[in-house]
């Protein structure tokens, strides 16, 4: 399994790395501790979680193989054991142990020099990683944790070396050795904790199988051959290939219980597919020939022959993985805050360390005591935990979202979601299914139903609007032949018009009829109004200036809508609807759903104005739409949510995409946002609060009370705070969004 994830988790990075022509110097980022990590986007080190720093572009683009070479988590363990072995003799000769246990190590000439040699090995061999890492931080002009540790151990080592050769008695070798040993094991434990928390991307990558069963050339042809029986196709030849060898158009066999290796279309067979990990939908979906399948979903009891339509980077799953990676790299407000805090902490530590040194020397303490305090201050101030506090939570919450069918495209949008006061839903296609059916046809005097339908369908034959589709479907059902039209034109938010024969004809709402000077006020006030009050969308058809008749269409309110609005109400959030449909229809839908507010007869270009209006009243507005004319409103809103089935435009302008097109997922977004925020604040507290409390103690503020902090103990606390932050982040996974 381990192999498996390594293999796939790099797909992502590789994508970026495959385009060397786009690489600009300074665009590359590396981990101070793991120089083998080199990628274009900033973010945190996949190995240890440290913030990546800018770096020179690599001489050669790293390949999968190179990356694996660097995965030596155990390096730290080896260095730790060696350091530990050397620390024991150093400890035996240290004054603390001698004093504490009344032990007297046999003295021999040159024992001080032996301590110096052992200390030097520990410093260069064990501490070397920290020194080189600090060098990388400084080269990137981003002094951070490694810089602090390097200054600390160099100060301790330099001081001790000086004392050894100047013939003094007190060195800091045992403190130096224990500090480095603790730092090494601490970093090893941190790496494990961080990898546990950072498994988000890997978890998704693990959904993909390694191998696929590809039908060979002859059998592929057989699979496409309609005359051959299904069973005989299954018996045809197949070979097992790594999924990297799959090509679009290949036929693959998906056996019962197996994972779908690539996005594709079912050619043969029927089965129930479990797509829960991708869509969050726990009920298996029944799929048959012609239906699409998603890579990573799990096949039920039937065998399927699937034609591959999308592979690798283009699959739905790869898309999600990219989103998670982007979300990890895109910095939220809190992240920027904590980054800045970490930077200042490093500076405060250096200044604080210097002041500690001067104050103790000024107070008449010896250099030994003063340097020891400085080392403790520098170690305790390490901002590692602070640097991790937010990104770990961010990555877990993005994955949690993805697993619940919420694709977070912009982290800021998710962060903003907890402050939302009002959710503005688009009506057609969002609160309703957007699948209209013709309910009734009302011809004017001297016209027939057939005439009304024929004219409406003819004009709408070039329209993609859900209303147009319904009218066309009805015309087809009734075998009505269409008239030829010319000069077709859409009238956004109102309808459509075209030239039919000698006259201009139009189909659309009352506003469009008014534009055409079609007058039938009594008519509108009568039958039509009655239908609209029952929630039917009524469109009118006119030719010349004469009203030919009207068509009432019915849409279905999504069953999930009502529940979503109820849940929002419980959360103290208002719900509103915005639609281009008539006042009466809007009122009816609003009543059915228990909406707090609605805006009717809103033209597409006015939708974003309504959002602005609400924002000017001091509200934080979420806009939910399918993108058919609401993209500007999605952009204007504080949180734009696109319904997955909608157009690509909407997905581009939205901060969050709902894979299942279920309005019931809106309360989930808000819950996820609130949970995430609380976790982030908790983590900042654990990471920074501890620094603030511990730094004065490390500086010796409680010396008068007999409390001093040994550098190695400081290192234990420092690592502990990182581990707490990582564990606290992981606990977010346990929360349910339901």
Residue 718 to residues 384, 669, 695, 727, Cα–Cα distance (Å)? 8, 34, 11, 15
> Residue holding tokens 């550098």?
711
**CA distances to 48, 51, 52, 392 from 45, in Å:** 6, 6, 6, 11
Which of the residues 582 through 641 are near ligand ADP (CB under 6 A)?
Answer: 604, 628-629
Return the H-helix or E-strand segment holding 305.
strand 304-310
Can you state the percent helix, strand and coil of the chain, rounding each to 5? 55, 15, 30
Closer to ligand ADP at the Cβ: 17 or 579? 579
Residue 70 near ligand ADP by CB under 6 A:
no
Estimate to the nearest angstrom the gap between the alpha carbon of 152 and the chain centroid: 37
| Residue closer to ligand ADP, measured from CB, 9 or 509 | 509
Q: Is 519 helix (H, G, I), strand (E, B) or coil?
A: coil
Rounded Cα–Cα distance for residues 497 and 507 (Å) = 6
Tell me which of 186, 302, 353, 495 binds ligand ADP, using CB under 6 A. 495
Q: Which stretch binds ligand ADP (CB under 6 A): 382-390, 493-501, 686-694, 702-710?
A: 493-501
- Binding residues for ligand ADP, rule CB under 6 A, total 23
Residue 278: closest CA among 323, 234, 334, 237: 323
Give least dist CB 426 to Mg ion, A: 5
> Cβ closer to ligand ADP: 346 or 496?
496
Q: Which of residues 501-520 bind ligand ADP (CB under 6 A)?
A: 507-509
Asked if 465 is part of the footprint of ligand ADP (rule: CB under 6 A), the reply reads: yes
From CA 70, how far away is CA 549, in angstroms rounded? 74
Nearer to Mg ion, 631 or 737 (CB): 631
Can residue 463 be called a binding residue for ligand ADP (CB under 6 A)?
yes
Nearer to ligand ADP, 137 or 426 (CB): 426
How far apart CA 599 and CA 607 sit, in angstroms, is 9
Nearer to Mg ion, 353 or 493 (CB): 493
Other CB atoms closer than 10 Å to residue 635's CB: what's the count? Answer: 16
Which residue is catalytic, options 426, 584, 626, 638? Answer: 426
Rule CB under 6 A: is residue 539 a binding residue for ligand ADP?
yes
Q: Is 474 in the site for ligand ADP (CB under 6 A)?
A: no
- Which of 427, 497, 543, 668 touches ligand ADP (CB under 6 A)? 427
Indicate the length of the chain as a whole number.
738
Asked if 502 is an active-site residue, the reply is: no
Stretch that binds ligand ADP, among 69-77, 176-184, 579-587, 699-707 (CB under 6 A): 579-587
Among 496, 518, 542, 614, binds ligand ADP (CB under 6 A): 496
Q: Are 452 and 443 within 8 A, CB to CB?
A: yes
Least Cβ distance, residue 629 to ligand ADP (angstroms): 6
Enumerate residues 620-639 that contact Mg ion by CB under 5 A: 628
The answer to whether the beta carbons of residues 98 and 104 sit under 8 Å apart is yes
Is 254 a residue that touches Mg ion (CB under 5 A)?
A: no
Q: How far is the CB of 579 from ligand ADP (least distance, A)?
A: 4
Handedness of CA 23, 28, 34, 37 (dihedral sign): negative
* Sole binder of ligand ADP in the list 275, 328, 581, 638 (CB under 6 A): 581
In which residue are the tokens 């500690």 written?
Answer: 356
CB of 50 to ligand ADP, least distance (A): 48
Looking at beta carbons, which residue is closest to ligand ADP?
Answer: 580
Q: Is 354 helix (H, G, I), strand (E, B) or coil?
A: helix
CA distance 584 to 571: 28
Minimal distance in Å, beta carbon 459 to ligand ADP?
A: 8
Which CB sits closer to Mg ion, 580 or 700? 580
The entry of ligand ADP, Mg ion, none near residue 387 (CB within 5 to 8 angstroms by kind) is none
Q: Which residues within the stretch 401-460 sit at the binding site for Mg ion (CB under 5 A)?
A: 428
Is residue 45 within 8 A of residue 31, CB to CB? The reply is yes
What is the rounded distance in angstroms from the CA atom of residue 189 to the CA atom of residue 532?
Answer: 66
Q: Which of these ranges, 217-225, 379-387, 521-529, 575-583, lies near ligand ADP under the rule CB under 6 A?
A: 575-583
Q: How far is CA 609 from the centre of its chain?
A: 29
CA-CA distance, 475 to 402, in Å (whole number)? Answer: 41
Question: Which H or E run contains 574?
Answer: strand 574-578
List residues binding ligand ADP (CB under 6 A): 426-428, 460, 463, 465, 467-468, 493-496, 507-509, 537, 539, 579-581, 604, 628-629
The residues annotated as belonging to the active site are 426
Residues at the site binding Mg ion, with contacts judged by CB under 5 A: 428, 628
């Amino acid at each position: 399994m381990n192999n498996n994830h390594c293999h796939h988790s790099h797909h992502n990075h590789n994508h970026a790395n495959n385009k060397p022509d786009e690489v600009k110097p300074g665009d590359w980022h590396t981990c101070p501790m793991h120089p083998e990590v080199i990628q274009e986007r900033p973010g945190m080190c996949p190995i240890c979680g440290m913030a990546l720093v800018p770096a020179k572009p690599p001489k050669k683009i790293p390949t999968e193989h190179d990356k694996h070479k660097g995965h030596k988590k155990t390096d730290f363990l080896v260095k730790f054991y060696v350091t530990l072995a050397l620390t024991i003799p150093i400890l035996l000769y240290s004054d603390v142990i001698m004093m504490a246990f009344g032990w007297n190590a046999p003295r021999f000439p040159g024992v001080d020099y032996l301590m110096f040699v052992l200390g030097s090995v520990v410093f260069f061999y064990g501490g070397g990683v920290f020194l080189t890492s600090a060098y990388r931080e400084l080269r990137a002009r981003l002094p951070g944790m490694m810089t602090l540790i390097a200054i600390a151990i160099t100060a301790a080592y330099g001081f001790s070396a000086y004392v050894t050769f100047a013939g003094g008695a007190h060195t800091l070798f045992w403190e130096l050795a224990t500090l480095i040993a603790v730092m090494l094991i601490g970093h090893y434990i941190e790496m494990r904790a961080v990898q546990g928390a950072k498994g988000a991307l890997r978890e998704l990558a693990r959904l993909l199988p390694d191998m696929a069963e590809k039908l060979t050339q002859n059998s592929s042809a057989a699979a496409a051959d309609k005359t051959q029986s299904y069973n005989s196709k299954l018996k045809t030849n197949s070979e097992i290939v790594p999924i990297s060898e799959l090509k679009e158009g290949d036929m693959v066999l998906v056996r019962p219980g197996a994972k779908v290796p690539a996005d594709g279309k079912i050619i043969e067979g029927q089965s129930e597919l479990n797509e829960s990990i991708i869509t969050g939908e726990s009920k298996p979906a029944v799929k048959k020939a012609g239906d699409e399948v998603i890579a990573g979903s799990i096949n039920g009891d039937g065998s399927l022959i699937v034609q591959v339509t999308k592979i690798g980077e283009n699959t739905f799953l790869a898309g999600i993985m990219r989103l998670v990676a982007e979300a990890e790299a895109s910095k939220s407000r809190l992240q920027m805050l904590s980054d800045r805090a970490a930077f200042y902490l490093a500076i405060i530590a250096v200044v604080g360390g210097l002041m500690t040194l001067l104050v103790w020397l000024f107070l008449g303490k010896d250099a030994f005591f003063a340097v020891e305090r400085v080392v403790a201050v520098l170690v305790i101030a390490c901002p590692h935990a602070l640097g991790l506090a937010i990104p770990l939570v961010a990555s877990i919450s993005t994955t949690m979202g993805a697993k619940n069918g919420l694709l977070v495209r912009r982290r800021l949008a998710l962060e903003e979601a907890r402050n939302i006061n009002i959710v503005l839903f688009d009506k057609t296609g969002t609160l309703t299914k957007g699948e209209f059916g013709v309910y009734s046809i009302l011809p004017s005097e001297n016209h027939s139903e057939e005439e009304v339908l024929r004219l409406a369908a003819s004009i709408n034959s070039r329209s993609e609007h859900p209303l147009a589709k319904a009218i066309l479907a009805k015309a087809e059902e009734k075998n009505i032949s269409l008239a030829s039209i010319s000069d077709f034109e859409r009238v956004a938010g109102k309808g459509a018009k075209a030239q039919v024969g000698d006259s201009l004809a139009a189909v659309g709402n009352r506003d469009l009829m008014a534009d055409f000077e079609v007058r039938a006020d009594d008519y509108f006030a009568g039958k039509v109004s009655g239908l609209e009050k029952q929630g039917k969308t009524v469109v009118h058809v006119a030719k010349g200036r004469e009203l030919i008749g009207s068509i009432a269409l019915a849409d279905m309110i999504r069953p999930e809508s009502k529940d979503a609005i109820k849940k929002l109400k419980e959360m103290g959030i208002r719900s509103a609807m915005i639609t281009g449909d008539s006042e009466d229809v809007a009122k009816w839908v609003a009543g059915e759903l228990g909406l707090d507010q609605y805006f009717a007869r809103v033209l597409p270009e006015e939708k974003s104005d309504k959002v602005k209006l609400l924002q000017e009243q001091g509200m934080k507005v979420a806009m939910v739409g399918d993108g058919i004319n609401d993209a500007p409103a999605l952009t204007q809103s504080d949180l734009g949510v696109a319904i997955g089935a909608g157009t690509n435009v909407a997905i581009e302008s939205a901060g969050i995409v709902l894979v299942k097109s279920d309005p019931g997922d809106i309360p989930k977004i808000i819950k996820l946002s609130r949970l995430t925020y609380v976790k982030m604040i908790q983590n900042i507290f654990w990471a920074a609060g501890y620094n603030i409390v511990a730094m004065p103690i490390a500086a010796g503020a409680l010396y008068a009370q007999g409390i001093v902090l040994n550098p190695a103990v400081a290192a234990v606390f420092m690592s502990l705070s990182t581990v707490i932050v990582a564990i606290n982040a992981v606990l977010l996974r346990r929360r349910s969004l339901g």
